[in-house]
């Protein structure tokens, strides 16, 4: 399903993203390797066991990136010019290997660009871990939230790069 054009976003609308992902040890390891983040709390089981968490944490930037990725098909896939900002990032609870994460986006603001050819859309994105795994009931824990602002194409406006 393609993303939404500027006109299709409604302030106050919450978009539930159906796609979910169970985070693996490999996901966390590869993300840390790619970003050169060798924090022992993410990678060293013996070190993490001696912390208040008792086990390795999934890198918070991975959790945020996953939330963005889960949201793209329903929001900006093929309709974005650029991500403009991420703000007010919070990680109220940790994510561990084996946790299943889902996301939702609530449109909080939108406005046309000064030339009227595109639009700026801000969404409050929330990521939740589904307690008990992918097939569990409605028990969820908020693990990441942030505001994402994008420059969006209009349905009848210029295409990206024009």
Rounded distance between C-alpha atoms, residue 16 and residue 10, angstroms: 14
Whether 159 is in a domain gets the answer no
Whether 144 is in a domain gets the answer yes
Whether 64 is in a domain gets the answer yes
Residue 111's domain comprises: 6-153
The interaxial angle of helices 25-35 and 60-75, nearest 10 deg, is: 100
> Average pLDDT of 77-101?
97
Residue 105: pLDDT band (50, 70, 90) is very high
CATH assignment of the domain containing 79: 3.10.129.10
Q: Phi-psi bin for 59: left (phi > 0), alpha (psi -120 to 50), beta?
A: beta
Q: What is the pLDDT of residues 133-155, one digit of tens each?
A: 455 556 899 999 999 999 999 98
Say what the pLDDT of residue 135 is: 55
Q: Phi-psi bin for 132: left (phi > 0), alpha (psi -120 to 50), beta?
A: left
Say what the pLDDT of residue 162 is: 64
Whether 108 is in a domain gets the answer yes
> Average pLDDT of 94-114?
97
Say what the pLDDT of residue 4 is: 96
Say what the pLDDT of residue 146 is: 98
Rounded distance between C-alpha atoms, residue 19 and residue 34, angstroms: 24
> Average pLDDT of 47-76?
96
Contact criterion met (CB below 8 Å) for 100 and 17: no
Domains identified in the chain, total number: 1
Whether 162 is in a domain gets the answer no
Whether 158 is in a domain gets the answer no
DSSP 6: G
Task: Name which residue leads in pLDDT, 101 or 159.
Answer: 101
Say what the pLDDT of residue 130 is: 92
Whether 124 is in a domain gets the answer yes
Whether 160 is in a domain gets the answer no
| Percent of the chain's residues with pLDDT above 70 | 93
Rounded distance between C-alpha atoms, residue 101 and residue 96, angstroms: 10
């Amino acid at each position: 399903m393609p993303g939404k054009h500027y006109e299709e976003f409604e302030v106050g609308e919450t978009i539930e993203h159906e796609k979910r992902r169970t985070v693996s040890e490999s996901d966390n390891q590869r993300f840390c390797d790619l970003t050169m983040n060798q924090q022992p709390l993410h990678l060293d089981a013996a070190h993490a066991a001696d912390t208040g968490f008792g086990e390795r944490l999934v890198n918070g930037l991975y959790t945020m990136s996953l939330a963005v990725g889960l949201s793209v098909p329903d929001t900006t896939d093929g309709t974005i010019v650029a991500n403009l900002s991420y703000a007010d990032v919070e990680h109220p609870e940790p994510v561990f290997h084996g946790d299943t994460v889902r996301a939702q986006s609530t449109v909080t603001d939108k406005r046309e660009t000064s030339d009227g050819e595109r639009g700026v859309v801000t969404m409050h994105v929330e990521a939740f871990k589904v307690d008990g795994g992918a097939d569990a009931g409605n028990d969820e824990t908020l693990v990441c939230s942030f505001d994402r602002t994008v420059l969006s194409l209009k349905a009848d406006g210029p295409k990206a790069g024009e």
